[in-house]
Amino acid sequence: MTTDQILAYDGDIPSEVVIEDKTAVEQLRLIQQLEDEDRQTIFKLIDKMLTNKKFKDFFQKNVAAL
């Protein structure tokens, strides 16, 4: 594409993807479209957040029992 074509672009420009407006299935479908490294980063973040939640729930439950 030439700079003239870019500056005078008449086609549809992609809109921003807002994940919170999507269902869980749609979110997973969008994640699957990412490059492998980006996809793995997202899944690592999710795993970390879930692990943190489990520890937080565990400690809250056990501290409440004291």
Residue identified by tokens 């420009």 is: 13
Count of residues making up the chain: 66
Measured distance CA(40)–CA(47) in Å, rounded: 10
How high does pLDDT run on average in the chain? 85
Show the domain range for 16.
3-64
Q: pTM for this one?
A: 0.60
pLDDT tens-digit series, residues 12-43? 776 777 777 789 899 999 999 999 999 999 99
27 exposed, middle or buried (CB, 10 Å; 0-12, 13-18, 19+)? middle
Question: Which pLDDT value is given to residue 1?
Answer: 64
Given phi > 0 = left and psi -120 to 50 = alpha, else beta, which region is 5? alpha
Name the domain count of the chain.
Answer: 1
pLDDT for 14: 67
Asked if residue 8 has pLDDT above 70, the reply is: yes
pLDDT digits (tens, 9 = 90+) for 37-56: 999 999 999 999 999 999 99
